[in-house]
Structure 1
């Protein structure tokens, strides 16, 4: 069943798009990520222009994250105070990121910049997550205990406060800076940023894995909502028809993912997410390096 997308100026198979949303929603509930890191490349693979894919993915990510957040909220796995601090930094970063994305679009390099961003960021994050997860599994088999996190210089920063749900007493500066970076990535890459936020919360801030997923989704919901509004106003690239089709599958998938995620160990969850992130990075890198079927193409000016 073909559906016409007015902003993307193309027709797509509605069932295919709903299926993509279902898979991404499943990942959202399972790993605590919005799924935009997978959504944007998938939309680009089926021919959706990069500018529309980035802006619309942020919209869809918000819908999938709301569903996953509700599921984790019911289980008491959301640190509202930590999520609020991360969100504050994310809103500032997303505002700057939208203006940067607008500049990139004006100079006509959206496709290249978005692809390079994905390959570099996903490659680094995915590799680190897989390596750490493998070490954690080996330590568990050898029954070697290790502290959840090490104390770095940032733990001595001022403006400390207590995050009771996360069992932490740290400065608000690191969460603000992490939130800022996530907001910037959200605007430029069309992602919720959970694939970076989750390991940052675990390894840098030392938040327990059980609380990380719900708190990550809390931040993702508000930041992607802000990015969606700013992208719609600034670049007019949000295709509401495409977003609604994606949300139809994502909302259902997130509920199943949240239920499945509660059955996995923390290191297993991180390892699976890392492998998925690496797979997307490799596919995008291959797309940049391989010879295109057509050297010159004509398309809408986005």
Structure 2
């Protein structure tokens, strides 16, 4: 048992370090790692959701202090994501009498979302270039259409996050970059984090109410991840982003394909 505890702490340290260096990879790495430790998919997702809510709360405080959050965009995203997460949790709860079916749905969904996350990481720069190139022409929406599309984006993210604990980070940031190309990068990142906290908290508490939570495991992950994020943040930029992101994407493709197929 002591060896497992040490393994969980090291897992938290490694994932925290990668998140600190790259800004992505939290849920997309943590949940597969927990599966590799033999944690069942539902418990892995539930634990990772509250882990994300706690670790990202500190980010919200920093971004709020620096005025890096667009609360209007956060509100429209939340309007779509939280109800979608609640409906997804209701669907999972209907499968709760059949744990094998619920874990199968979560595991396969996790695989597909990991593949999407890998694509978002690989093609992020091209997507951003497209958004900036066409900002202001017929591609760019405004007013009610933009708000409606933001709500729809929230619905998609809420569903993915409640099912897999993944999506609010890399996918959410890319979606916001495309929808709001004129908004400063630091405000987009801050807005995504501000949206992720209530979403992961609601989804995590929903999973906890179904028993999909291991509180001891959560504490071990936090013990490792908090210093890991600190160290990774201080080393950010020392290793080229052109090396880190492709390596991370290839790893996610491998894990996602294995889970999905």
TM-score of the two chains, using structure 2 as the length reference: 0.81
Which residue does 1:252 correspond to in 2? 227
In structure 2, the CA distance between the partners of 1:216 and 1:252, relative to structure 1 (3 Å rule), is farther
SS at match of 2:123: helix
Map of 1:126-205 to 2, 5 A cutoff?
126-133=118-125, 147=133, 149=135, 151=137, 155-156=141-142, 158=144, 171-191=146-166, 193-205=168-180
Offset of residue 133 of structure 1? 2.8
Whole-angstrom distance in 2 between the partners of 1:199 and 1:33: 11
1:153-186 deviation per Cα after TM superposition (whole angstroms, max 9, x unaligned): 6715527xxxxxxxxxxx3222222122111111
Offset of residue 64 of structure 1? 1.6
SS at match of 1:114: helix
8 Å Cα contact 2:81/2:156 also seen in 1: yes
Return 5+ residue gaps in structure 1 as ranges.
4-11, 140-145, 160-170, 290-302
Number of aligned pairs?
257
Map of 1:28-107 to 2, 5 A cutoff?
28-33=19-24, 35-107=26-98
Within the candidate set 118, 122, 127, 2:114 is matched to 122
8 Å Cα contact 1:33/1:198 also seen in 2: no
Return 5+ residue gaps in structure 2 as ranges.
none
Offset of residue 220 of structure 1? 1.1
* RMSD (Å), alpha carbons: 3.2
* Structure 2 residue 234 is the aligned partner of structure 1 residue 242: no
Offset of residue 19 of structure 1? 1.9
Which residue does 1:219 correspond to in 2? 195
8 Å Cα contact 1:122/1:277 also seen in 2: no
* Structure 2 residue 102 is the aligned partner of structure 1 residue 110: yes
SS at match of 1:101: helix
In structure 2, the CA distance between the partners of 1:106 and 1:260, relative to structure 1 (3 Å rule), is farther
Offset of residue 287 of structure 1? 5.6
Q: Which has the higher contact order (CA 8 A, sep 6+)?
A: 2
* Structure 2 residue 253 is the aligned partner of structure 1 residue 281: yes
Q: Considering fraction of residues, name the structure with more strand.
A: 1
Offset of residue 187 of structure 1? 0.9
Task: Give the structure with higher Rg (CA).
Answer: 1
Whole-angstrom distance in 2 between the partners of 1:30 and 1:173: 34
Offset of residue 121 of structure 1? 2.4
1:60-95 deviation per Cα after TM superposition (whole angstroms, max 9, x unaligned): 111121233334444443333322332232211110
